């Protein structure tokens, strides 16, 4: 059984701009996107999204955090992805397209995702991990961040506290629980789990949201 604290949405969520193309896939719910944007507004440093897809969340993060750079990563290959996830990978060349015009977005479309060398210079203070959901995939991405000495707020999508048999291929929770993060926060009515990694001093604004 995971040891987590449920948190509620903050009262002062930013309003989220409509995406350029509302027909693009929506993998992250509007209230989760608003929560991510709010977190980014409260975290020092830049934002990194691993698994940006067509850039729906990227665009919102960028518009609500104009003073930060939003780094967004997707991959050009499907090798090693669970069969259920292969269809999520954007059409070649179109990753992040909803955020292409945002002046504060930098996109990386890479064969196999991030490396510690790539991210160590980016001054990242918040990460949204929403790429490969297999155990080894989410571990590889998280390890790369830790190896690059990224410190701050880590948010994993699809942590999934419900034991839904249709979602067994999503192994984010199995991996995240091996980290024994304390406290680990889970947003209510959401699959997002988040924790501070060696954040140093400063207010724990998530702790104030515990239900
Ligand atoms: C669920 S979608 C992400 C949705 C997006 N975060 C949003 O909020 O709109 C998952 C994405 O992760 C990408 N992906 C899978 N493995 C990856 C990896 N190792 N590094 C970066 N992206 C990855 C897929 O190509 C896909 O576009």
Domain edges within the chain: 25-209
Contact 115, 140 (CB under 8 A): no
Other CB atoms within 10 A of residue 163 CB:
8
132 Cβ closer than 6 Å to some ligand 1 atom = yes
Looking at residue 1, what is its pLDDT?
47
Nearest CA to ligand 1 atom 5: 52
How far is the CA of 114 from the CAs of 56, 122, 138, in angstroms? 20, 12, 11
Instruction: For residue 112, give the ligand 1 atom closest to its CA.
Output: 19
C-alpha 196/C-alpha 123 separation (Å) is: 16
Nearest CA to ligand 1 atom 24: 89
Q: What is the mean pLDDT of each run of 10 residues along the chain (211 residues)?
A: 87 90 91 97 96 97 98 90 92 94 94 83 95 95 94 94 81 95 95 89 88 96
Looking at residue 201, what is its pLDDT?
67
Other CB atoms within 10 A of residue 47 CB:
28
C-alpha 131/C-alpha 138 separation (Å) is: 7
Q: Assign 41 to helix, strand or coil.
A: helix
Q: What is the 201 CA–ligand 1 centroid distance (Å)?
A: 31
C-alpha 177/C-alpha 21 separation (Å) is: 36
69 Cβ closer than 6 Å to some ligand 1 atom = no
C-alpha 199/C-alpha 20 separation (Å) is: 34
How far is the CA of 144 from the CAs of 1, 82, 92, 138, 178, in angstroms? 26, 20, 24, 10, 16
Q: What is the 73 CA–ligand 1 centroid distance (Å)?
A: 8
Candidate of 35, 37, 53, 62 to mutate for ligand 1, largest count of ligand atoms within 8 Å of Cβ: 53
Looking at residue 114, what is its pLDDT?
83
Looking at residue 110, what is its pLDDT?
84
65 Cβ closer than 6 Å to some ligand 1 atom = no
Instruction: For residue 158, give the ligand 1 atom closest to its CA.
Output: 1
The CATH code for residues 25-209 is: 3.40.50.150
C-alpha 52/C-alpha 152 separation (Å) is: 19
131 Cβ closer than 6 Å to some ligand 1 atom = yes
- Whole-model pTM: value is 0.96
Helices (H), 51-134: 56-64, 83-86, 116-119
Q: Which two tokens stand for residue 121?
A: 């210079």
Short-list 51, 33, 48, CA closest to 132: 51
For the CA atoms of the chain, what is the radius of gyration? 16
Instruction: For residue 56, give the ligand 1 atom closest to its CA.
Output: 9
Q: What is the 191 CA–ligand 1 centroid distance (Å)?
A: 15
């Amino acid at each position: 059984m995971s040891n987590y604290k449920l948190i509620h949405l903050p009262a002062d969520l930013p309003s989220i701009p409509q995406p350029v193309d509302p027909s693009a896939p929506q993998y992250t719910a509007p209230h989760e996107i608003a929560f991510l944007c709010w977190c980014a507004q409260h975290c020092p440093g830049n934002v990194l999204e691993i698994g940006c897809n067509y850039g729906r969340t990227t665009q919102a993060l960028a518009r609500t955090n104009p003073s930060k750079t939003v780094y967004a990563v997707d991959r050009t290959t499907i090798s090693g992805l669970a069969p259920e996830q292969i269809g999520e990978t954007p059409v070649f060349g179109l990753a992040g397209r909803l955020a292409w015009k945002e002046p504060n977005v930098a996109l990386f479309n890479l064969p196999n995702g991030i490396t510690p060398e790539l991210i160590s210079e980016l001054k990242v203070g918040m990460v949204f991990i929403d790429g490969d959901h297999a155990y080894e995939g989410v571990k590889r991405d998280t390890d790369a961040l830790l190896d690059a000495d990224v410190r701050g707020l880590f948010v994993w999508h699809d942590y999934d506290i419900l034991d839904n048999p249709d979602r067994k291929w999503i192994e984010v929770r199995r991996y995240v629980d091996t980290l024994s993060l304390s406290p680990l926060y889970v947003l209510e009515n959401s699959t997002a789990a988040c924790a501070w990694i060696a954040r140093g001093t400063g207010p724990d604004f998530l702790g104030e949201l515990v239900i």
